[in-house]
Amino acid sequence: MTDTAPRGLIALLSACNFVIGMGAFVVIGLLEPLSGGLGVPVASVGWVLTVYAFAYAVLSPLLVALTGRIGRRRVLFWGLALFALASALAALVDGLGPLLLLRVVAAAGAGVVTPVTSAIAAALSAPEQRGKALAAVLFGLTLSQVAGVPVGGWIAYTFGWQAAFGLVAALALPCLWLVWTRVPAGLSLPPVKLADLGRVLGDGPMMIAVLFTASFLAAIYVPYTFLPALLSETMGYGRDGITLALLVFGAAAVLGNLAGGWLADRIGPARTLTLLCLAQIVLMPPFSTLPMPGWLLLGLVFVWSFAGWSFTAGQQMRLIALDPQRASVLLSLNAAAIYVGIAAGSAAAGLVLDLAGLEMLGIAGGVAALAALAHLLWSQRVVNARMQGD
């Protein structure tokens, strides 16, 4: 492999992640339309996100290992095709059970797309540019929060939740064609084997480092999972207000993703992640003080999202530096950990909602962010101790 990606390849990989991100996170904007359409409580609809996240977390590392000897173009194409098919069928069902099953299928397809795109970007980039390359590939994932989640939510409120899933499937079609025609047929990386996966899973310090991704995102998703419902109840927001708040969240996520890669390249991944944990501890509790002036709320949403989504490049750089030879496995497990965090955060949010109400989500998120900081410091200590022992 060279240190320069073929022209346009990074942009294509980013576009694939946009589709994956929109299909995964669009549920955030659909909770109330789904609740009304399916005739189930909002807390129960949260399982549409939770089940997807759990399925992704379990299936992604396994499928990446099982497809390790297959060409990257084929893996990307068929993973994205499976995701598109599941999204199209989701637009046709009318019950919670079938929808949950299709979310598992969609997670299986997505589970090979994102880690493979990250591994390609890391392999094709010079070490000093790796943070920027990873941030660029994951730009699509965060861009899906700027455009995909708000647009999907608006469509769901206007035309019904099925239309939002149909849009995801439609957006996947041009990406499928581009993957097959633009990704080099001979593109390959060192194959990931089940034995490699087993060795990393059995490496305690390494797994502690990987799972920081889960603890950090779990904290964010405690308030984010039910943010539309929270804004509806406390601020009186309807379709347009909720769409605007989600748009601000997404715009900040995109900028944070880019800034996070820049910051990690300059002050190092560990310092970057520590600063971001401290920011989350401060930024989430104010959501338990709503209502507040609209301009102040949108400013809070912006800064919160910016600090939250700045973590992605730094965490990936940190993991690759721990064991460059097993980067593909680590990135696969990191992608799975993203969804472990989403699943844990959304499940915790549902529990907080049932036991304490919407107004406690911000405080609960701040407490979870404090736990994430403790996790990070513990992880750094464990890894440093092993490196000194070696």
* Cβ atoms of residues 219 and 345 within 8 Å: yes
Q: Is there a domain that residue 1 lies in?
A: no
Residue 257 falls inside a structural domain = yes
Structure tokens at 267: 């002050």
- Pick the more confident residue, 306 or 36: 306
Domain span including residue 290: 9-389
Mean pLDDT, residues 310-317 taken together:
89
211-253 residue pLDDT tens: 999 999 999 999 998 998 899 999 999 888 998 998 899 889 8
The two structure tokens encoding residue 290? 């709503």
- Per-residue pLDDT, 110: 93
Asked whether the predicted pLDDT for residue 358 surpasses 50, the reply is: yes
The predicted model scores a pTM of 0.76
The answer as to whether 196 is a domain residue is: yes
**Predicted pLDDT of residue 321:** 84
**Gap between the Cα atoms of 151 and 157, Å rounded:** 10
Highest mean pLDDT among 110-124, 130-144, 247-261, 354-368: 354-368
Q: Would you give the DSSP letter of residue 148?
A: I
Rounded average pLDDT over 144-160: 82
What pLDDT score was predicted for residue 258? 80
Asked if the structure places residue 167 within a domain, the reply is yes
| Number of domains within the chain | 1
- Given a contact cutoff of 8 angstroms between Cβ atoms, the answer to whether 38 and 93 are in contact is no
Residue 335, in any domain of the structure: yes
**Amino acid identity for residue 130 in this structure:** R
Residue 214 CB burial class (10 angstroms; 0-12, 13-18, ≥19) = buried
Residue 341 placed within a domain: yes
Q: Tokens for 330?
A: 């680590």
Confidence at residue 6, expressed as pLDDT on a 0 to 100 scale = 64
Given this model, what pLDDT does residue 1 score? 42
CATH number, domain containing residue 51 = 1.20.1250.20
365 Rama class: left (phi>0) / alpha (psi -120 to 50) / beta: alpha
Q: Name the 3-class secondary structure at 243.
A: helix
More confident residue, 326 or 268: 268
Provide the pLDDT confidence category of residue 5 given band limits of 50, 70 and 90. low
In a domain, 3, yes or no: no
**Given a cut of 90, is residue 177 above it in pLDDT?**
yes
For residue 325, what pLDDT is reported? 75
The answer to whether the CB of 130 falls within 8 A of the CB of 317 is yes
1: three-class secondary structure by DSSP: coil
Structural domain contains residue 4: no
